[in-house]
Each structure stands twice: as structure tokens, then as C-alpha cells.
């Protein structure tokens, strides 16, 4: 009986992988060439304008795409609003600091005027992430299109699928691997922490209340880093929701390799960042990316294109929402 059950699981997993590969293969960069000419450019115009007015929007749009793809695949479910009786992904604990929804809505509204009911919210998310990062000097990657939008969005699935900021290296590998992403993809995508913000509440325990520390700070952390972060995040209840730069170098809004230098110098924000150099395999990858921006950019672009194909809905599956926040 156990052998039969194991065999059934293997067959089911194999079928799931084949179906996912088939859906991914249906994506194409030219998908909207005749369906919605100028649609891809319209998204880029909205995104470029938003990031030009506030460079922090780049990190917000990148994170939106990542958090979408890791829960039910890249189906735009992170954009759906909660309804009576159902708490959506966007209202889950890990997603409460997500930003960029208004930019996606703006792009969708522009597309609905020229190509009503054609351009999916999931594709807008994928394009927006690429265009935003490219605009601030990061790499540019291919975005094959043709994703359709999902109709299910559950906060509980966001909690169970998104990687935690205290994950160990093995937990990170397992989490990313469950989405078909490799160890190298994981280390490369972690480099997104070179931009963006987090709440002080995420780091104050490491700055003031670390168990067994005579100074209160996590002894793993660089003392200079601790001093500078304590100035931004005082140990008060009112400061818990203050924002902290993920990477303080160059204002925290330049896409570069400084994140990896922070990890190597014990000056990164999360325990999951520290985990990248907890193994010889991870350390070697961090050193490689830290020493070559071109290598990092190439690996990041490859990983983003790969992530953008995770769990996509194509063909007759899913739908095209007219408003990204509503089913």
C-alpha cells in the first residue's frame, strides 16, 4: 500500500510539472502584438513615470511581482481585495507593507481604454517589475506574456508559501525549490534586498533585545551597523512602524551588488540574509556576485524570467480582470 501511494504521488507530481511546463511554453513576448498593439509600451510609460517621481516605487513593484508568483503562481492574485468572509493575500502579515498597487491600477485603467478585457493584471505585474528595475539601472530581462488572472486569493496561503525573514539556508533552498527555482536563483533573487524598505519592528529585536547579549544587540551584527541602525530605529513603541532602508549605501535605491557586501560584512537586516553565507556553497555564490555586477545582473535576470513562469494560467484557464482588485 505504501509503495502504491508513493508511486501515485510521483505520478501526480510528474503530471503537475508537465502541465506547468506546457502552460509556461504558451507564453510569448509577442502575445499582445495584434491583440493590444502598444500595450506593453503603455505599461512601461506608467511605470517609468511612477519610478521617476519616486525611485522607491521600483522596489515596491518588484516585491509585488515576487509575492504574487510565490503564492498560486504568477496569476495576479496578490492584487485581489479581501471580501466579506475571506481575507486576501494582500492583507496577510507578510504582505501588509506591499506597495505599488495604485501604479498597477493606473496601468490597467490605461489599457482598458484602448484594449478592454485583453491585457491581464498578471502580465502587468511582470512587466512593471522588469521596467522598474531597468529604469533605476538594474538588469533588463525578457518577459514572455500571455498569463491569465486567477480568482482565488487567501491570506493563509501567503503565510505558508512566502519565505520568512528568519529562514535558514536549507529552508530558503527548499522554499525556492518548491517553485522550481535553483539555489543560485535563490541567492540571486535575494539580491533584490539592495533596494527597498522594511519596518523597524523587523530589526529592533536584533538591535536591542537579542537573547543572551550583554549589549542587547545580536553579536553576529557589525557594531558599526548596529550603531547606525539604532539611530534610525530607536527602541520605542512609536518607532516600530518607522521605515528602515534595506541597504543604506547610495540611498538604498540603486540596484547594485552592495547588498552582498553587506551580507559579507554582517551588515544585512534579516537573519535570512545572514543565512546566505552560513554554508560554503552559499558563501561562494555571495562572493561571486559581490565581486562582479555583470555576473549578478545576468543571474538575477535569468532567475526573474524563470520566476515569471511559475504556476502561470494560460489558454482557457483563469480570466482577464477588468479591475485588478476585483474578481
- Is 37 labelled as part of a ligand binding site? no
The DSSP call for residue 216 is: S
How far apart CA 75 and CA 69 sit, in angstroms, is 7
The DSSP annotation for 93-112 comes to GGGTT---HHHHHHHHHHHH
CB-neighbour burial class of residue 5 (10 A; exposed 0-12, middle 13-18, buried 19+): exposed
Phi-psi region of 162 (alpha: psi -120 to 50; beta: other; left: phi over 0): beta
All cell numbers assigned to 241? 512602524
Phi, psi of 135 (to 5 degrees): -65, -35
- Is 131 labelled as part of a ligand binding site? no
- Is 73 labelled as part of a ligand binding site? yes
- Residues forming the active site: 67
- Is 152 labelled as part of a ligand binding site? no
- Report the run of H or E that residue 52 belongs to, with start and end: helix 39-53
The DSSP call for residue 275 is: G
The three-point CA angle 63-20-99 to 5° equals 15
- Is 274 labelled as part of a ligand binding site? no
- Is 193 labelled as part of a ligand binding site? yes
- Is 54 labelled as part of a ligand binding site? no
- Is 123 labelled as part of a ligand binding site? no
Rounded to a whole number of angstroms, the CA Rg of the chain reads: 20
- Is 105 labelled as part of a ligand binding site? no
Closest CA to 69 of 324, 309, 260: 309
CB-neighbour burial class of residue 45 (10 A; exposed 0-12, middle 13-18, buried 19+): middle
All cell numbers assigned to 299? 543571474
How far apart CA 109 and CA 116 sit, in angstroms, is 9
- Is 273 labelled as part of a ligand binding site? no
Closest CA to 326 of 55, 83, 32, 104: 83
How far apart CA 78 and CA 75 sit, in angstroms, is 8
Residue 243: strand, helix, or coil: strand
- Is 53 labelled as part of a ligand binding site? no
Binding residues for heme b: 193
Binding residues: 68, 71, 73, 75, 77, 89, 163, 193-194, 247, 256
Binding residues for substrate: 163
Amino acid at each position: 500500500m505504501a509503495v502504491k501511494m508513493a508511486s501515485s504521488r510521483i505520478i501526480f507530481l510528474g503530471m503537475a510539472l508537465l502541465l506547468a511546463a506546457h502552460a509556461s511554453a504558451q507564453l510569448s513576448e509577442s502575445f499582445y502584438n495584434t491583440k493590444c498593439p502598444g500595450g506593453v509600451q503603455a505599461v512601461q510609460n506608467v511605470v517609468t513615470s511612477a519610478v521617476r517621481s519616486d525611485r522607491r516605487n521600483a522596489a515596491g513593484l518588484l516585491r509585488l511581482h515576487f509575492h504574487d508568483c510565490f503564492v498560486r503562481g504568477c496569476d495576479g492574485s496578490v492584487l485581489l481585495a479581501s471580501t466579506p468572509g475571506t481575507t486576501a493575500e494582500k492583507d496577510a502579515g507578510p504582505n501588509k507593507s506591499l506597495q505599488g498597487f495604485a501604479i498597477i491600477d493606473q496601468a490597467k485603467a490605461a489599457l482598458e481604454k484602448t484594449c478592454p478585457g485583453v491585457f491581464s493584471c498578471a502580465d502587468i505585474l511582470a512587466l512593471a517589475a522588469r521596467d522598474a528595475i531597468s529604469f533605476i539601472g538594474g538588469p533588463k530581462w525578457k518577459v514572455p506574456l500571455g498569463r491569465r488572472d486567477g480568482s482565488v486569493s487567501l491570506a493563509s496561503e501567503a503565510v505558508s508559501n512566502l519565505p520568512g525573514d528568519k529562514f535558514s539556508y536549507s529552508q530558503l533552498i527548499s522554499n525556492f525549490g518548491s517553485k522550481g527555482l535553483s539555489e543560485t536563483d535563490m541567492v540571486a533573487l535575494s539580491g533584490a534586498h539592495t533596494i527597498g524598505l522594511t519596518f523597524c519592528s523587523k530589526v529592533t529585536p536584533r538591535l536591542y533585545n537579542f537573547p543572551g547579549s550583554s549589549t542587547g544587540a545580536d553579536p553576529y551584527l557589525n557594531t558599526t551597523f548596529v550603531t547606525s541602525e539604532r539611530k534610525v530605529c530607536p527602541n520605542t513603541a512609536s518607532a516600530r512602524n518607522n521605515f528602515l532602508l534595506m541597504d543604506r549605501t547610495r540611498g538604498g535605491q540603486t540596484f547594485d551588488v552592495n547588498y552582498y557586501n553587506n551580507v559579507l560584512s554582517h551588515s544585512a537586516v534579516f537573519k535570512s540574509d545572514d543565512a546566505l553565507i552560513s554554508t560554503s556553497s552559499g558563501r561562494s555564490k555571495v562572493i561571486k556576485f559581490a565581486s562582479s555586477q555583470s555576473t549578478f545582473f545576468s543571474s538575477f535576470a535569468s532567475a526573474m524570467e524563470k520566476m515569471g513562469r511559475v504556476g502561470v494560467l494560460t489558454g482557457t484557464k483563469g480570466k482577464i480582470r477588468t479591475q485588478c482588485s476585483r474578481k
